[in-house]
Structure 1
Amino acid sequence: MTSPQMDVGEYLSRIGFEPGSGPRPTLETLRSIHTRHLLSVPLENLTMHSGELIRLDLHLFYDKIVKQRRGGFCYENNGLFSWLLTALGFQVTLLSGQVKSGFTGCYGPPLDHLILMVVVEGRSWLCDVGFGSAGFSSPLSLDTADPQERGHCMHRIREDTGMFYLEWQSDESSNECKDWDVLYKFTFEPRSLEDFTKMCMYHQSSPSSIYFCKSVCTLLKPEGRVTYIGRRLITKTFTTEGVMKHTRDLKDEEIPLVLAEVFGVILPSPLTPKDEEITPPQVKY
């Protein structure tokens, strides 16, 4: 039953989705709201770098993302997105992913990342609105190992002895024969939001977590992607010739204005910019 404090129509308005007579649980609807969420709600961890604690509570997610027009990291974005999909009549299963760090080359612990499996018209789809720059703009089919093009990126899902690997070809690679790089691995074991409580704290306290080591905010744009990290603003623009990348150094006093103007994010407390090296985890997963 939908909580009176959480309204589907308000969420859809937040992401700019105009359903007309009302959205139905179809593949077309799933694709549309997945993309609209990514174009409207940033992936960001600024709460933990402005003196506050993130707790796994759907009502808090809703207040932050819909009411305050903020973003969140994977547990918040995908957690709230799963509520929306369920309210719209979709069959949703929460899954655990383990991200392979681009900085350390190591996988995160189990329950490192929250992702969603959605079944529509007898077919299974991977949804993820909480991953960032290497993510996919619309759901990926879980029923094929073939490459799947989403926007300017190519992804595929490879299975090996019961473990599934999401891989991509980097949008910045200039090679004609691009390598496939693993983004994260996962299984189909159903999870609940509460299962991720310990890892939610880990990401707010561990030097092996990118979220603890770096203040981040990133948003998909129709023409590319814009990312704030530490004291830098990185803009990617997709062209017919490839990806054009521009990096701008920021002064501390510029950051709140950039967050507001570029991402629509206004923080209730002062931000402490952070961009430290990530410590590889002692335990290999």
Structure 2
Amino acid sequence: MSEPRLSNLALYLQRLGFDAPPKPTLETLRRLQLRHTGAFPFENLSTLSGEPVRIDLPSIEQKVLHDGRGGYCYELNNLFLALLQALGFAARGISGRVVLGQPEGAWTARTHRLSLVTLKGVPYITDVGFGGMVPTAPLLLDTSDEQPTPHEPYRIEQHADGYTLRANVAGEWRAMYIFDLQRQEDIDYAVGNWYVSTHPDASFAKQLMVARTGEGWRRTLNNGSFAIHWVGGESQRRQVTSVDELVELLGSEFGIRVPEHEQLRRVLGCLIEFA
């Protein structure tokens, strides 16, 4: 079966600062991943509005490239994989289990999408859809060494069941997610997406989560709590107190065009009130 194709490669590349398709090199991959996490925010507004989160490529392209929105891993990493394949990278989708914030040794549901890229026989993982701790550079798979990125350093631990990605946060190596290289089909992603977007116990159905990166900073928004985290420095925080303020913040700090949706405004109001 042929891979789905992007309908507007030129526009996508333009949003990432490229006037022409770059060559499929490691340096290109680094530039693409860093710029992608800055240009296209992580956000879950659709799950809070009660609308279905469509993860077919045309729907994602419309939402992210034309409607002024971002998305989460099933959207952003699907779109990014299509871009990599269009540029000639040897890349495929894989999946993992988010354990950030869980007790050490926790084994969660398989609900995270990322990609495996092979360059001159060397495997890397690339991920543009992991919220406030998204890696901002591709990571070499077959090493346990610390790997620097434009933001935090990361490392990958191999174990009997696959790999664990860790990030150095405030001097502590915290587990981000567990993953393996098992082949994934569209149905596997459809099941995971259905769970995270509709199940009442799923985090995306209960709280607002937004993130974006930039040079030397990460911006995050969790319900009404907005923060700018400076690399190697202190974080600046403030509390949002109204839906109008939240909508303005989503536009000015994250570049999100918030849809006019009555239920979404009601939910956002409740999340701010009980934050």
- The two structures have a TM-score, normalised by structure 1, of 0.86
Cα distance, 1:236 vs structure 2? 1.4
What residue number does 2:190 align with? 197
Deviations 1:14-36 (A, max 9, x none): 23x2255x311111111111111
Structure with greater helix percent: 2
What residue number does 2:124 align with? 125
Deviations 1:179-214 (A, max 9, x none): 322111111112123311122111122243221111
CA contact (8 A) 2:155 2:166 kept: yes
Alignment partner of 1:213 is 2:214? no
Cα distance, 1:3 vs structure 2? 7.2
Equivalent positions of 1:93-242 (< 5 A) are: 93-102=92-101, 106-110=106-110, 112-170=111-169, 173=170, 178-239=171-232, 242=233
Alignment partner of 1:243 is 2:243? no
Alignment partner of 1:266 is 2:257? yes
Aligned length: 265
Opposite residue 212 of structure 1, the aligned amino acid is A
What residue number does 1:50 align with? 49
What residue number does 2:33 align with? 34
Q: CA, structure 1 residues 19+143, in 2 after alignment: closer, same or farther (shift >3 Å)?
A: farther
In structure 1, distance between residues paired with 2:149 and 2:6: 34
CA contact (8 A) 1:101 1:108 kept: no
CA contact (8 A) 2:156 2:166 kept: yes
Match of 1:256 among 234, 237, 247: 247
In structure 1, distance between residues paired with 2:157 and 2:250: 37
In structure 1, distance between residues paired with 2:103 and 2:243: 27
The alignment yields a C-alpha RMSD, in angstroms, of 2.1
Q: CA, structure 1 residues 93+56, in 2 after alignment: closer, same or farther (shift >3 Å)?
A: same
What residue number does 1:83 align with? 82
CA contact (8 A) 2:165 2:178 kept: yes
CA contact (8 A) 1:127 1:140 kept: yes
CA contact (8 A) 1:50 1:269 kept: no
In structure 1, distance between residues paired with 2:186 and 2:57: 9
What residue number does 1:18 align with? 18
Q: CA, structure 1 residues 146+38, in 2 after alignment: closer, same or farther (shift >3 Å)?
A: same
Cα distance, 1:2 vs structure 2? 8.6
Deviations 1:114-154 (A, max 9, x none): 01000112211110000022221110001211110112311
Runs of 5+ unmatched residues, structure 1: 277-285
SS of residue paired to 1:204: helix
CA contact (8 A) 2:218 2:229 kept: yes
Opposite residue 187 of structure 1, the aligned amino acid is D
In structure 1, distance between residues paired with 2:6 and 2:163: 37
Q: CA, structure 1 residues 231+162, in 2 after alignment: closer, same or farther (shift >3 Å)?
A: closer
